Amino acid sequence: MQRLKEIETQIRINDAQLEVVRKKEADLIRLQHQIQQMVSDATAERIELEGERDELEAQKLPINWVPSEILVEIFMFICCYHRDRIPDNFPAIRLSHVSRKWREIALSVSQLWSHIWFPCTGWSQERIMVYMDRSGTTPLDVVFGRGGAALCSTRSRRVGRVLSILEPAYHRCRSIVFECESLDPAYCLTETLNNVSPATFPLLTSLDMAVTGEPFSYASFPFAERDEPQDLPPSSIPPSLVSNLSLERVPLLSLPVHFFVSLKTLEVSYSGVFPNRDASVYASHLLTRLSYTQYLEELTLSNIWIAFDIVAISDQTFVRRSTASSPGVLKIPTLPRLRHLTWSFPPSKQIPQFLSLLSLPNLEKLDLWIDSFRNNASALSFDSQHIFDAARLHYPRLRELSLQCMHPDTLGSALRTIIFPELTKLEIINVERRTQKQAQGEIDIDLPIFPRFETILHEPRLLRLTHLVLSHFSISLDWGPETLGYIPALESLSLEGCNNVGVLMFALTQRVPPIRSIATNTSHSKHRRHMRFCPRLQILSILDCDIDFKGLKEMIEARNKSGFEDIILDSKELPKKATQNALAGRVIKPLPGKGSRLQKPNPWVLDDEESASLAVRMAEMTLDVEPTCISHVRIISCKQISLQKADSLCEFGVDVVWSG
């Protein structure tokens, strides 16, 4: 029993000791937690202080003074706006790796990640998925193609993989840019676009497709030569938002009709290809597709020639030459909203033929780059037989005409059937000579003589022309007085790389002889001096021209001289011939040639009485317009005019810009 009592006593002692130790352990644990909390607080405080110190250090750099809102705008410009069609890097990722602040900004703006680029080689699916995830619900701009000097080894299976990745986000695609050297990937994309409805791409507004390597072939595209009617009912065409379409070496008919119904800009090009029968645009294809582009505002044809596979059966209707499977007659489409037409490298004879296939009532600007080499029949592989004799083409709203040619002889065949009574700006550039002059440096090049307006225009009297630009031509001795009289409203004259400019300066110096007013019965009257040609001329630009400073100074002095001399002169003392010439103007003789090529009466062909009336009107415009002074002169790279000579023109009240 004594033993049991001793054990019980020892147990109670151990329990007391355990209680003390447990309390001590709990106190230590509590103290440990407190220390850990203190360590965590100290660590957080240290991190905060280090961040503040880093922020203060970063404030030493001026770039970090820019507010976040402005940084967002800069980042948007870097990531979302590209001068080139295909980028060569991933700017959003680079920006997010610069600093913590920039990363926070980059990750918070979903638009920075909406521009998704699939390089031809070396693209990562993980990177693409990061872009798609960080872009949230923002509309996507998808680009597929090589960047910089990277090689393109794309095949259709790679494009198929891209399309499978994008398929869940088709509804977010706002624009698609596709560029590849081979035809197979383009085939894959066009096949996809033909097999899905417009509802699959509800936000798509821009489509840009280009094949840059392999030779063009209609056989390489699905539906490229399909026969389609021109008059599908609007109710049968599904709606689409595509407003911008660019096709390079991609046939028009390879895309379904709904891609054309809402277009505002259309560009078709075959860059780097000398046209042959496989690389032409068929007239029937143009008529078929353009008939649905009622909202088209700008049409660009680059390096294009037209294969006229149609035959006229009346003034307004055609049929295809080949086949009984033709869907019926084709009519001339009317494009009521087209404002700007650009066509580069067409044969000059095709210009009026093509324009006669379109009705352009509101055309305002026409840019033509005429290729003289394709006018050579031996260089062409197509049938150049005319569809019909083109009638006069009347563009009542045309304001601007820009012509680039390799030889002035091509201008007449391109323009003789076109009438533009409201033209205000005319630019004619001799491209071949300019290229040769730039290549040969200081070596003088024989420039072709600029043709007179009546040899290239159906109506040479441009009564509303205010701006004229001539580049790399030689001015003949009779060009000035023979042509300047046709443009009485001229306000700005620009000459680039021209010879014999002194002829123009001399013509612009001449004055009209004083004439007694017809409305007065007195034998004497006072008159201010009037310039004979272009009395409203104010701006003169001379670039790299052969010009004598003396002639330029005399012209400006004659037009800007202060204090007009009063002249009292009886009209009987004036030669009768001079009076008649001043009032009636020079009679324009018709050019020799065939009779009227019109198939029906043309209201724009003037008879002798109307022509004389118009000449009188031109003379009255020249006499009645209040003459203006030359206010601005721009002289660039003219060897015969030094800075000192140019500065001397300021005494006549002229603002002079000079550069050697």
| 94 in any annotated domain | no
User: What's the pLDDT at 564?
Assistant: 43
Q: How far apart are CA 484 and CA 498, in angstroms?
A: 16
φ and ψ at 336, to 5 degrees? -70, -20
Q: How far apart are CA 239 and CA 261, in angstroms?
A: 8
11, with CB counted inside 10 A (0-12, 13-18, 19+), is exposed
Sign of CA dihedral 168, 174, 180, 186: positive
User: What's the pLDDT at 375?
Assistant: 52
The residue type found at 33 is H
Nearest to 286 by CA among 320, 252, 259, 317: 252
Instruction: Check if the beta carbon of residue 563 is closer than 8 Å to that of residue 529.
Output: no
The DSSP secondary structure of 59-121, one letter per residue, reads: TTSGGGGS-HHHHHHHHHHHHH--SSSS-SS-HHHHHHTT-HHHHHHHHH-GGGG-EEEE-SS
- Terminal CA-CA length for the chain: 128
Instruction: Check if the beta carbon of residue 614 is closer than 8 Å to that of residue 620.
Output: no
| 528 in any annotated domain | no
| 475 in any annotated domain | no
518, with CB counted inside 10 A (0-12, 13-18, 19+), is exposed
Query: Total structural domains in the chain?
Result: 2
| 463 in any annotated domain | no
Element (H, E) at 622: helix 608-624
| 72 in any annotated domain | no
* Helix segments in 316-403, DSSP class H: 350-355
**Bridge partner list, 448:** none
Last residue of one domain, picked from the residues 338, 367, 395: 338
Q: How far apart are CA 330 and CA 516, in angstroms?
A: 61
| 235 in any annotated domain | yes
Nearest to 581 by CA among 533, 615, 534: 615
**pTM for this one?**
0.78
Residues 199 and 302 placed together within one structural domain of the fold: yes
Q: How far apart are CA 539 and CA 553, in angstroms?
A: 14
Indicate the length of the chain as a whole number: 660
Q: In b/e form, how buried is each residue of 606-626, taking b as 16+ CB within 10 angstroms?
A: eeeeebeebbeebbeebbeee
Q: Residue 52 is encoded by which pair of tokens?
A: 């503040």
CA atoms lying within 13 Å on the CB side of residue 177:
18
Residues 179 and 322 placed together within one structural domain of the fold: yes
Residues 163 and 302 placed together within one structural domain of the fold: yes
| 100 in any annotated domain | no
Last residue of one domain, picked from the residues 305, 338, 371: 338
Angle at 412 between CA 408 and CA 413, to 5 degrees: 115
Q: How far apart are CA 646 and CA 564, in angstroms?
A: 25
Last residue of one domain, picked from the residues 298, 313, 338: 338
Instruction: Check if the beta carbon of residue 537 is closer than 8 Å to that of residue 508.
Output: yes
Angle at 453 between CA 404 and CA 591, to 5 degrees: 125
Q: Residue 270 is encoded by which pair of tokens?
A: 């075959």
Distances in whole angstroms, Cα of residue 106 to Cα of each of 62, 63, 468, 602, 613: 19, 16, 50, 64, 70
* Structural domain boundaries, residue 195: 154-338
Q: Residue 658 is encoded by which pair of tokens?
A: 């000079």
Profile the chain (660 residues) by mean pLDDT over runs of 10 residues. Answer: 83 89 91 92 92 81 85 88 70 87 90 85 80 91 70 62 88 90 80 87 92 74 68 77 92 89 92 54 88 94 86 77 60 93 89 90 94 50 44 88 88 88 94 60 70 88 93 83 86 92 90 57 48 90 90 90 44 37 44 40 42 50 67 91 91 90
Q: How far apart are CA 566 and CA 609, in angstroms?
A: 36
Nearest to 320 by CA among 282, 291, 278, 346: 282
* Helix segments in 457-548, DSSP class H: 479-483, 502-509
The DSSP secondary structure of 235-260, one letter per residue, reads: GGSPP----EEEEES--GGGS-GGGT
User: What's the pLDDT at 512?
Assistant: 74
Q: Is 541 helix (H, G, I), strand (E, B) or coil?
A: strand
Residues 175 and 54 placed together within one structural domain of the fold: no
| 422 in any annotated domain | no
Residues 188 and 307 placed together within one structural domain of the fold: yes
